[in-house]
């Protein structure tokens, strides 16, 4: 059984000043709060798209009878961390520093690897079928988007002090992170859906124990 030891991806980084040359901002989460209203609006639009994907995920998860299923637990864990990442882009949530976000991406990737292993076990017990092909294709997407999230998590918002005014350039990095999370969420949704079809379909046929 997969055990979630940590409630979140927060690393507990306290007292780290990411912007030592800038007065008024000490970490990346604070920088996100200082973005222009227009940039905040654009980020919110991306977050809303992510939330729609999250609703689809919740609907798929609800179909499973066993709430303790390892695949579901891993998928929920990945989803929770992705939510924390989208909160971060709005200057909220437990992730404060760029390193927090990088570590969160690592945790997502680790969970993705475990999800891959469990799902392949289901796929291997399926006869050659479109369901099996779909499952393996979705796992490739998960690996791709986990890698994408790890890359986008490393881009820190740029902060400048121009004539006493703080200028934060973080829109591109924030939207890239949210889009990567949305893509990954979609891949997880498809994987959960295909896993459900495979496990119920072939269990009934006695193919999967």
Whether the CB-CB separation of 143 and 187 falls below 8 Å is answered with: no
> Looking at residues 124-147, what average pLDDT do you find?
90
Structure tokens at 160: 């400048």
pLDDT score at 67:
56
pLDDT score at 63:
82
pLDDT value at 7 more than 60: no
| Number of Cβ atoms within 10 Å of the Cβ of 37 | 7
- pLDDT tens-place string over residues 93-132: 999 999 999 999 999 999 999 999 999 998 888 877 788 8
| Tokens 């991806």, residue located | 9
What CA–CA distance (Å, rounded) separates 147 from 150? 5
pLDDT score at 62:
86
Q: What domains, with CATH codes, occur in the chain? A: 28-204 (1.20.120.230)
pLDDT score at 38:
97
The number of CA neighbours under 13 Å toward the Cβ of 26 is 6
183, containing H or E segment: helix 171-204
Q: Indicate the pLDDT class of residue 202, thresholds 50, 70 and 90.
A: low
What CA–CA distance (Å, rounded) separates 155 from 148? 12
- pLDDT tens-place string over residues 82-98: 999 999 999 999 999 99
Whether the CB-CB separation of 85 and 95 falls below 8 Å is answered with: yes
Whether the CB-CB separation of 53 and 188 falls below 8 Å is answered with: no
- pLDDT tens-place string over residues 11-28: 444 567 999 988 889 999
- pLDDT tens-place string over residues 25-84: 999 999 999 999 999 999 999 999 999 999 999 998 888 876 568 999 999 999 999 999
pLDDT score at 203:
53
* Helices vs. strands in the chain: H and E counts, helices first: 6, 2
């Amino acid at each position: 059984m997969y055990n979630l030891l940590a409630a979140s991806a927060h690393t507990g980084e306290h007292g780290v000043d990411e912007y030592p040359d800038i007065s008024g901002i000490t970490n990346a989460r604070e920088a996100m709060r200082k973005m222009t209203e227009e940039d905040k609006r654009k980020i919110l639009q991306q977050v809303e798209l992510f939330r729609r994907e999250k609703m689809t995920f919740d609907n798929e998860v609800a179909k499973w009878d066993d709430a303790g299923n390892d695949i579901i637990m891993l998928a929920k864990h990945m989803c929770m961390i992705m939510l924390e990442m989208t909160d971060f882009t709005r200057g909220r949530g437990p992730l404060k520093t760029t390193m927090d976000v990088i570590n969160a991406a690592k945790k997502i990737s680790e969970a993705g690897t475990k999800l891959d292993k469990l799902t392949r076990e289901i796929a291997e017990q399926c006869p050659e079928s479109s369901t099996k092909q779909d499952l393996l294709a979705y796992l490739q997407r998960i690996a791709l988007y986990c890698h994408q999230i790890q890359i986008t998590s490393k881009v820190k918002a740029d902060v400048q002090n121009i004539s006493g005014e703080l200028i934060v350039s973080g829109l591109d990095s924030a939207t890239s992170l949210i889009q990567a999370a949305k893509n990954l969420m979609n891949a997880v949704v498809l994987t959960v859906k295909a896993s459900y079809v495979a496990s119920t379909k072939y269990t009934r046929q006695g193919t999967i124990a």
